[in-house]
Amino acid sequence: MSQQSEDVRYRGSGQPGVKTRIYSVAVPVVLGLCGIALLVGSLALGVGTTNEPGPGLWPFAIACTWTLAAAAIAWESFKGTALPPVGPSQRPAVGFGLTLAFILIFSYIGLIPAVLIVTSAWMKLLSDMSWKRIIIASLTITALLYILFAIIIGTAFPASVLPIP
Amino acid sequence: MNDSILLGFSVALDPMNLLAVLAGCLLGVVVGVLPGLGPITTISILLPFTYAMEPTTAIILLAGIYAGVMYGGTVTSVLLKLPGEAASVVTAIDGYEMARKGRAGPALGISAIGSFIGATVALIALTFFAPALAELAVKLGPPEYAMLALLGLLLIAYLGAGAFAKAVVAAAIGLFLATVGLDPISGDARFVGDSLQLLDGMDVVAVVLGLFGIGEVLFSLRERDSEAELVSKKVGRVWPTKKDLRDSAAPIARGSVIGTLVGLVPGGGGLLSSLLSYGAERRFAKNPEEFGKGAIQGVAGPETANNASSTSSFIPLLSLGIPFNVTISLLFSVLLINGITPGPRLVTENPDLFWGVIASMYLGNVVLLILSLPLVGLLIQILRVDMAVLSPFIIVLSLVGVYTIDNNTWNMWVALFFGVVGYFMRIWGFPPGPLVLAFILGGLLETSLRQSLLLGDEGLLIFLQRPGSLALIAVSVLLIGASTFSAVRKRRAQTGAVEESIHVGS
Amino acid sequence: MIASRALAAITLAVASLLVTSCSVGAGPQSGGTEADYPNSSIEAVVPYDAGGATDQLARTVISGMEPELNEQSVVVLNESGGAGTSGMTSVVNSEPNGYKLAFIAGGPLTVQPHYGKTSYSYDDVTPIARIATSPIVLAVRADAPWNTIQELVADLKANPGSFRYASTGVGNPASIAMEKFNAAAGVDTKQVPFKSSSETVTALLGKNVDGAAGLPQGFTASVKSGDLKILANLGSVKDQSYEKVPTLKESGIDASTDLTSGIVGPKGLSNEVVTALADAVQASLKDPKVLERISSSGAVPDFGTGEEYAADIKSDFDENGIVLKELGLIP
């Protein structure tokens, strides 16, 4: 898998810098803290005994496993295995923003504007497609989804300001 | 017996029923391909129409949809790493890797063949051994379910490649997510804060589409052009090679047996069977290191098992009158509304319904095979569509699909959240597969563990007192022992190899 | 683009198959004046999954209601989630115009508000009509040593804690019914909760538990086949399929638990609308086909006016509060 090859790449690029090492340890440590928070939460629910198990017993067991495994990763990182960097995040951030926008437009305005706006913005911002191709593609996607969900399946869409979904 | 089967086929070949088989299978495949839309949504929509139909025709239609969805669910798992339903998560691992290598055609082809064989084997079991299998289904109780789920959880460690500790964290997160909501035993609300929506727990489809669909698309955006990770541009050959068929024969045979038996577990049957089959194949394979990198056995076995189990889950319905999963209980309600109570007497009281449905399931399988093999060539063309068009399409389709789960935007937010989680997991090398599988098995495991403790008087001893759970414990212990042994051996071999390569390099 | 053309082709094929389903999925209506109610289709929210007992009941009753409501269609919307509270919340917050109603069975109004997480209380609705009542029953294996509930009580007094029963979850009607039975008969039974009624039947047939409590529907098949018998009716009503089994009260134990199902609307519905709907329900419950379908599910058709239903909701809410407190589920 590509992930492995990335791991190898970073391991292979000599001794990681201080920044990378701090980051590589910080990620599993934060993860471990989440595990500890879960541990506290499950204790609050009540662990009970093996004969009378409480609602928190199972989450407690999970939290222990979680925390220990996170600690193991932190130790690995501390010894020098660097985590792959977060890397270029501008384009994923745009993608995230458009996904968020889709949910909002879908919830408050309607299916058709949401699909039209988000797919065309996506193609414009994240690829080199020409406007002509973008319009054809986003109209196709919109029509497809409209036929599938609104006509065939008859989904009840959220309150729309438009007469059609 | 021959008369009964002849009666069945005479019912199934009635033009109306034949049409129901065809329509059901076709509709099922289409719906199965759409992420988020499962058999439950489809059957719910059709429910009012089935009230007007003959009960036999209605059941035949719905059974066709159910089988079709199981076929269709594979397509997007392989092509887009977008599992249409829970049981396809396992297929997504090696199936998608095969697609990346330009072997999407063989992956889909072998799934269709395996599904056909698996479902047929389960049907033969249903035809001839239904009463005995139903008896077995009833004998299994919470202790056995618990041990099966535990075995499944152990097998998760086999999935994919990557660091063990990271897989454990991912599985722990999945197990934790399964506990969110009402405690099934004590009724306490756990980890829900003030959210009413969380009281019911999170929907598995929303989590899966977030982690796999949205997470994967966001990750692919890191690379600028068509070099994107998402899918390979290569379409490759359509049909499995002779070697593929040879490699898949044994996995399909084993998958049929595993699926038929595990289908008798209520709830997690489909996923558990594909997981167990994957684990078994990895153990029996001559090339275990290929698993997670596009091994055809990792597609053939689980897909076969998955379809065998969905067919064998009809056994408790038809011979005991007990629906073992939500889809089957929808079929159950159609029968009830028509004044038919499925149960041990169904076969004597309504022989034409009983045998008609079984015969039409045989037909449905043939229809699906004929339908899906030519479709493979067509479907893999989706890989030719430009990534720039495909990514927003996947996002929009996943989100609307997730909305239809219960017509509520809440699940869209869940999917978005897990999209972000999936994105970071992908970056840091945490495998999403174990998270999803642990999430699904977690509920079954915790519930049945605690039910077992309530059933016995001596705590954990109950697991040793019952032959079924004892046998499953033995299998798990053997498995752990064997994998520890082979891991040690492999590590030794690897260390040797690395040293060698260093020598060569210098 | 070949792929999308292929998809479109498949889509069209399916569209022609299903073209009749287009009518479903209308948006919310802008109601007209009350005099001509109803003048457009009505949304009936079922806050549970399709195919469940309440869903079946709702669809059955609706089939007989539509002719009485100016032939307007009543569209079922399954809004499951939050143990029925999701769908309930959306109805409570809707316009009280009679175009959005909920078909419910107890839970979302009489149990969930006790947990303090719902945004509404049990009286934030306008009860419209009670449709049916179903008792909770206790089933055991046919070869079990007890033939009456008194024999079980006597056995339990001699061997306390020896009886394990399967329920569909703590705080559910089945578990509440058994708690009330325990208290009234002075016995102790051990509950093993399961997720669905079918799992409780499996556990009982497989000899993992000694009994199972739940709605009669879940046991029908196994009782018919002679594998199980209904030992006691923990409620107050009877359908013909178990009319010979005495209720607890008839057996001298003072406890009774029924599950009532009915229709509610948002608070502030006008009397005209309530009456129009209640009349439609009443008419539907006279249709022999509707009655037969309800009875085949083991429930008992039991029409009640809005006021009667409101009283049921109030008394169930209060009783459940007491039992939930005893169970330690609420402070």
Q: Would you state the pLDDT for residue B268?
A: 63
Q: Cβ–Cβ of C24/A157 closer than 8 Å?
A: no
Q: Cβ–Cβ of C202/B138 closer than 8 Å?
A: yes
Handedness of CA C89, C92, C97, C102 (dihedral sign): positive
Chain A interface, best mutation among B176, B404, B405, by max A CB count within 10 A: B176
Residues in chain A with CB shorter than 8 Å from the CB of B161 are: 1, 3-4
Q: Would you state the pLDDT for residue A15?
A: 61
Q: Give the chain C residue nearest B408 (alpha carbons).
A: C79
> Residue B490 pLDDT more than 80?
no
Cβ B213 vs Cβ B35: under 8 Å: yes
> Residue A99 pLDDT more than 90?
yes
Write down the residue that tokens 């079980």 correspond to: C152
Report pLDDT digits (tens) over B148-166: 888 888 887 666 556 788 9
User: Distance from C127 to chain A by nearest Cα, in Å?
Assistant: 25
Average pLDDT over residues A144-156: 80
The residues, ordered by sequence, that sit 6+ positions from B471 with a Cβ below 8 Å of its Cβ are none
Among partner residues C4, C18, C117, which is closest to B199 by beta-carbon distance? C117
Q: Cβ–Cβ of C83/B199 closer than 8 Å?
A: yes
Cβ C302 vs Cβ C131: under 8 Å: yes
For residue C185, give the nearest of C204, C202, C163 by alpha carbon: C163
- Radius of gyration (Cα) for chain C, nearest Å? 22
Q: Give the chain C residue nearest B379 (alpha carbons).
A: C3
Cβ C139 vs Cβ C228: under 8 Å: yes
Q: Give the chain B residue nearest A89 (alpha carbons).
A: B222
pLDDT tens digits for chain C (331 residues)?
344 444 443 443 343 333 333 333 333 444 445 567 887 788 888 887 766 778 888 888 888 888 888 778 788 887 776 667 778 888 888 888 888 899 988 778 888 888 777 778 888 889 999 999 989 999 999 999 999 999 999 999 998 888 999 988 777 788 889 988 998 999 999 989 887 788 888 899 989 999 999 988 888 888 888 899 999 999 998 888 888 899 999 999 988 888 889 999 988 888 888 888 898 999 999 888 888 888 877 788 888 888 899 998 898 898 888 888 887 777 7
Q: Give the chain B residue nearest C203 (alpha carbons).
A: B141
- Helix (H) and strand (E) counts in chain B: 22, 2
> Residue B403 pLDDT more than 50?
yes
Q: Cβ–Cβ of B222/A100 closer than 8 Å?
A: no
> Residue B504 pLDDT more than 60?
no
Q: Cβ–Cβ of B138/C206 closer than 8 Å?
A: yes
How many of the other CB atoms lie within 10 Å of CB of B384? Answer: 14
Q: Would you state the pLDDT for residue A16?
A: 64
The residues, ordered by sequence, that sit 6+ positions from B262 with a Cβ below 8 Å of its Cβ are B148, B269, B272, B273, B276, B305, B309
Q: Cβ–Cβ of C27/A165 closer than 8 Å?
A: yes
Q: Determine how β-strand C125-135 pairs with β-strand C300-304.
A: antiparallel
Write down the residue that tokens 């064998």 correspond to: B312
Cβ B261 vs Cβ B125: under 8 Å: no
Q: Give the chain A residue nearest B210 (alpha carbons).
A: A99
> Residue A3 pLDDT more than 70?
no
Chain C interface, best mutation among B19, B51, B196, by max C CB count within 10 A: B196
Q: Would you state the pLDDT for residue A113?
A: 92
Q: Would you state the pLDDT for residue B162?
A: 65
- pTM above the 0.95 mark? no
Residues in chain A with CB shorter than 8 Å from the CB of B387 are: 127
Q: Would you state the pLDDT for residue B165?
A: 87
How many of the other CB atoms lie within 10 Å of CB of B50? Answer: 22
Report the mean per-residue pLDDT for chain B. 83
- Radius of gyration (Cα) for chain A, nearest Å? 24
User: Distance from C19 to chain A by nearest Cα, in Å?
Assistant: 7
Report pLDDT digits (tens) over B107-125: 999 999 999 999 999 999 9
Query: How many angstroms separate the CA atoms of C44 and A163, rounded?
Result: 21
More confident residue, B266 or B121: B121
Residue A151 contacts C where some CB pair is shorter than 8 Å: yes
Which H or E run includes C113?
none
Q: Determine how β-strand B181-182 pairs with β-strand B189-190.
A: antiparallel
Residue B138 contacts C where some CB pair is shorter than 8 Å: yes
- Which token pair is B206? 């929303």
Provide the 3-class DSSP secondary structure of residue B279. Answer: helix
User: Per-residue confidence at B494, pLDDT binned at 50, 70, 90?
Assistant: low
Instruction: Give residue C189's region: left, alpha or beta (phi > 0; psi -120 to 50).
Output: beta
CB under 8 Å, gap of 24 or more: what pairs does B342-349 form?
A: B342/B317, B342/B318, B342/C221, B343/B319, B343/C220, B343/C221, B343/C222, B343/C224, B343/C225, B344/B131, B344/B319, B344/B320, B344/C221, B344/C225, B344/C227, B345/C224, B345/C225, B346/B318, B346/B319, B346/B321, B347/B318, B347/B319
User: Per-residue confidence at B53, pLDDT binned at 50, 70, 90?
Assistant: confident
Q: What are phi and psi of C100, to 5 degrees?
A: -140, 115
Residues in chain B with CB shorter than 8 Å from the CB of A59 are: 176, 179, 190-191
The residues, ordered by sequence, that sit 6+ positions from B286 with a Cβ below 8 Å of its Cβ are none
> Residue A49 pLDDT more than 50?
yes
Residues in chain B with CB shorter than 8 Å from the CB of A51 are: 453, 459
User: Alpha helix locations (H) across A13-149?
Assistant: 18-45, 57-79, 90-108, 111-126, 131-145
> Residue B323 pLDDT more than 90?
no
Q: Would you state the pLDDT for residue B243?
A: 92
Q: Cβ–Cβ of C11/A144 closer than 8 Å?
A: yes
Average pLDDT over residues B374-397: 83
The residues, ordered by sequence, that sit 6+ positions from C318 with a Cβ below 8 Å of its Cβ are none
A71, with CB counted inside 10 A (0-12, 13-18, 19+), is middle
Instruction: Please state the domain extents for chain A.
Output: 2-79, 90-153
Average pLDDT over residues B193-220: 83
Q: Would you state the pLDDT for residue C225?
A: 85
Write down the residue that tokens 């389709």 correspond to: B397
Provide the 3-class DSSP secondary structure of residue C4. Answer: helix
Provide the 3-class DSSP secondary structure of residue B456. Answer: coil
Q: Would you state the pLDDT for residue B121?
A: 96
Q: Would you state the pLDDT for residue C249?
A: 92
> Residue B230 pLDDT more than 80?
no
ipTM of the complex: 0.88
The residues, ordered by sequence, that sit 6+ positions from B491 with a Cβ below 8 Å of its Cβ are none
Between chain B and chain C, the number of residue pairs with CB atoms below 8 A apart is: 181
Residue B493 contacts A where some CB pair is shorter than 8 Å: no
Q: Would you state the pLDDT for residue C53?
A: 76
Range list of β-strands (E), B334-410: none
Average pLDDT over residues B263-285: 83
* Domains, chain C: 43-134+259-326 (3.40.190.150), 137-256 (3.40.190.10)
